[in-house]
Chains A and B, each alone.
Chain A
């Protein structure tokens, strides 16, 4: 369904992505792991053109584009097939929870208001915010804000939802409520690409795990293989540091 090939991204002299390939099929939950600065966020942002890659191609259903020179028309169409959940939520501060969810439908897609409202309420109900429709972001906790962010993403029924560390800005006691929502989406068969530092969660939800370091994919495979018997030394070191006390078949 979604294939990106040979993604390169440079900032000034630094090459941040050095030829990355990712394939996402319908129903996949791809989790991307890796040390800080390895280029995970950059990769995700290149996938919906928030960042322009310097090289690479994308096949997304009927769209076949070069990442560096896709027309703004194609970019607009491709963005509407995706949704993005940000690390720091990025909710529209001047809109209520419900309006946040409706914006993409009403303004982005020209849906009529009452239909959008119905969909928006359903999306908020799903993330457990049935009693917070009329709250502004400033009146919500971090966990609630991120759940609005997720509701905003699912409401537009995208082909794939991209998550960039959805819980890393949250207080520890709020992480669970957000992860549970994402797990629920995984159960329903939603297609997702998730950058996360929550290893247990990654192992639970993933159908496919990618381990990145220094702008390259070091190792990828199903979660059992990556977490329990990784082949590459870099993966082992990373997992050992982040999951001390877990025994591997190494």
Chain B
């Protein structure tokens, strides 16, 4: 990756940062899984890249900010997308935030967007506080005034679009678990997210919550047994 610097080596992909077509760019390269048959591996990789791009484009259609896509290269297994230079992950934001009111209002916003996403039948698939960014609108490295920030969802590699109430419930449960294991203030955040979710997802979210409760009960039982 000439002209790019490696910033992260994940389980599925390598992330590089650089300038592409004159813009700050993130290149997400999915690596070959040697243990898989070659043609199956490239088929599955292509499907994941399509799902990720589709989710990114469909989120925009319902007004949710996601990185802009610059090139989807199936042969090189790379998606070139917008890199947000002046951003912090929701995870770091939560950990450094000392105002309960600010945390509540951000959580409510996250919930509203999540509700809109689910209402459009986009399931993120890997909701965590590292997969949501807060970006400064004025291109400065400053994150203490919420009115200067906007939310961006990233990392849609596991997105799905079938839209059953069960899948949506699972999406919420995955987020709750991720927050619980990352943040001591999780019990202040998650209820606000649900509140925002209910506000934007008005029709049909009742069934989702009952699925969510079911999944949650199963999850609890599993952790009690195991």
A binds B: no
